Amino acid sequence: MKESLARSHGSQCGFCTPGFIMSMYALLRSSELPPTEEQIEECLAGNLCRCTGYRPIIDAFQVFAKTDDAFYTNTSSSDLQSGEFLCPSTGKPCSCKSKGLNGAETCKKSTANEHNYEPVSYSEVDGSTYTDKELIFPPELLLRKLTPLYLNGFGGLKWFRPLKIQHLLELKAKFPDAKLVVGNTEVGIEMRLKRIQYKVLISVAHVPELNVLHVKDDGLEIGAAVRLSELLQMFRKVINERAAHETSSCKAFIEQIKWFAGTQIKNVACVGGNICTASPISDLNPLWMAAGAKFQIIDCKGNIRTIMAENFFLGYRKVDLTSGEILLSIFLPWTRPFEYVKEFKQAHRRDDDIAIVNAGMRVFLEEKGEDLVVSDSLIVYGGVAPLSLSAVKTKEFIIGKNWDQELLQGALKFLEIDIFLKEDAPGGMVEFRKSFNT
Ligand SMILES: NC(=O)C1=CN([C@@H]2O[C@H](COP(=O)(O)OP(=O)(O)OC[C@H]3O[C@@H](n4cnc5c(N)ncnc54)[C@H](O)[C@@H]3O)[C@@H](O)[C@H]2O)C=CC1
Ligand SMILES: O=c1[nH]c(=O)c2nc[nH]c2[nH]1
C-alpha cells in the first residue's frame, strides 16, 4: 500500500499519509472479498489531505479493488483461453499473476514502466501469495470479558461504565446531572475545546438494552447506543430482505449516513448521541422526524414513555428529557405502499462536512380514482432555525391535494413562509440557504 501510494505521488507533506494507509489497511484486513472501488472511496472519506488532492491517492488504492480486467482492454474476458490472465497494466494476456510482489519477474510491458512505474495486480496484493496472514484484530481483545468500571480522575471527576440498565438507572438517580457518553464525538469536543467540566461521566456504550437492533413486523427497534456503522449495516440488510415499499425510510437513512461522517466516526458515534445533542444541523434528526419515528424514554425508576420524534426537539440543543431521563431506543416504522421518504443535504464539500441546509421529507399518497392524493406528509429542514424545523403550513396545504405540478408550485410558496430566514440569521449565507429550501 505504501509503495503504491508513493509511486502514484499520493503523498506530499506526509502528514495525512499514515491515516490514509491505516484506513485502507483496515478495509483490506476486514474484507473477506476484494473491496469494490466504491468501498475504497467510502473508507477514505474520513481522511483529509490538503496537498496532493485526492486523485493520486484514490488511484494508488484502486489497484486493490475488485475490477473486471476486461474493462481496461478491447479484449473481452470470454476471448481469453481458459486459465489465461489479463494483465491490468498492459491489457494483454500474460503470466504476471503468478509472480511475487517484489517484482523481478512481474510484467514489464507497461508503457508506464518506461517511467519506472509498475502497477501491482490485485493477485499480488490481496495477500493470497502470503501464507502467514496477519490477524484482523487481536481476538483476545474481542473475547475479553467486560467488567463494570468506576474510575476517579483529576479534579474529582468520576467515570462509570455500567453493564446493566439497572445499574445505569441507579447511577442516574444518584447523579442526575451525570453526562452520558458513547462515542464521545460531542462530549469530547465540549470538554477539550469548550472547556466544559463534567464531574460525572457514564459510559453507556455496553448496556445491552441500549444496544438492541430488532427487526419487528411493523418496523425497526434501535437502541440509543447503537453505532451508526451498525445501523447502516442493518439498513442495508433489511432493504435486501423486505418488500421494497417498506424500506423507503431505510434507503433515505443509508444515503444520509453516507455523508454523515467518515467511517472512523460512524464506528463510534451512536444514534442516541446524535438525537440528544439536538444540533440544528444534525443530518439525521430531520429524517427521524419526517419518517415518523418514535423515541422511548426511560426514567430512573424504570418508567418508560414514548414520544414522536417530531415533538422531541424543543429549542436550540434542547430536548424533551428531564435530568433523570435517558433515551432508551428509537422505533422506525416501515413505510407503506405509496409512502416515500427522501433525504437532502447541501454542504461545502460532500464528504466530512457539516450541512449548510439539510432535510427529511415524507409523503403518503392515496389512490382516488385516477388521481394520487396526499394523505399524510412531513417536511423537516435543518440549518434554517435553532432546531430541526417542521414545515407545518406546507404540510397543511398539501394534504388532500392531488400530487401534481400545481401542488408543487403551491407548496413552494408555503415553504417560504414556513422556513423564514431573517437577513441576520445565525450561520449567515441567508440567500444561499433560502435557495435550498425551495
Ligand atoms: N453529520 C452529523 O450530523 C454528525 C453528527 N455527529 C455527532 O454525532 C454525535 C453522536 O455520537 P456520540 O459520539 O456517540 O455522542 P457523545 O458520546 O459525545 O454524546 C453526545 C450527547 O448525547 C448524550 N447522550 C448519549 N446517549 C444518550 C442517551 N441514551 N440518552 C440521553 N442522552 C444521551 C450525551 O450525554 C451527550 O450530551 C452527536 O453528538 C454529534 O456531534 C458527528 C458527526 C457528524
Ligand atoms: O449535528 C452535527 N452535524 C455534524 O456534521 C457534526 N460534526 C460534528 N458534530 C456534528 N453534529
Please write the tens of the pLDDT for every residue from 104-152. 444 444 333 444 545 555 555 555 555 555 656 677 777 888 999 999 9
How many Cα atoms within 13 Å fall on the side-chain side of residue 370?
A: 1
Nearest-CA residue for ligand 2 atom 2 is 282
Query: What distance in Å separates the CA atoms of residue 54 and residue 123, rounded to the nearest whole number?
Result: 25
Which residues, 6+ apart, have CB-to-CB distance to 87 below 8 Å? Answer: 69, 93, 94, 96, 97, 107, 109, 121
Relative to the alpha carbon of 183, which ligand is closest? 1
In sign, the C-alpha dihedral spanning 308, 254, 362, 421 is: positive
pTM for this prediction = 0.83
In whole angstroms, what is the distance from residue 13 CA to residue 22 CA?
17
Amino acid identity, position 211: N
How far away, in angstroms, is 325 Cα from ligand 2 center? 23
**Residue 219, SS3 per DSSP:** strand
Coil, strand or helix: which one is 58? helix
Which of 202, 277, 323 is the pocket-test mutation for ligand 1 (most atoms within 8 Å of CB)?
A: 277
**Cβ contact 229:242 at 8 Å:** no
Report whether residue 125 contacts ligand 1, using a CB cutoff of 6 Å.
no
Of 419, 286, 309, 260, the C-alpha closest to 362 is: 286
Residue 290, ligand 1, Cβ within 6 A = no
* Residue 74, helix vs strand vs coil: coil
225, with CB counted inside 10 A (0-12, 13-18, 19+), is buried
Kindly state if the Cβ of 283 falls inside 6 Å of ligand 1.
yes
The torsion region of residue 388 among left (phi > 0), alpha (psi -120 to 50) and beta comes to beta
60 Cα: distance to centroid of ligand 1 (angstroms): 35
State the Cα angle at 338 between 332 and 343, rounded to 5°. 55
pLDDT in tens, the chain (438 residues): 899 999 999 999 999 999 999 999 989 888 878 898 889 999 998 899 999 889 999 999 988 887 665 665 555 545 555 556 655 555 556 555 544 444 444 444 433 344 454 555 555 555 555 555 565 667 777 788 899 999 999 889 999 999 999 999 999 999 999 999 999 999 999 999 999 999 999 999 999 999 999 999 999 999 999 999 999 999 999 999 999 999 999 999 999 999 999 999 999 999 999 999 999 999 999 999 999 999 999 999 999 999 999 999 999 999 999 989 999 999 999 999 999 999 999 999 888 889 999 999 999 999 999 999 999 999 999 999 999 999 999 999 999 999 999 999 999 999 999 998 877 777 788 887 777 766
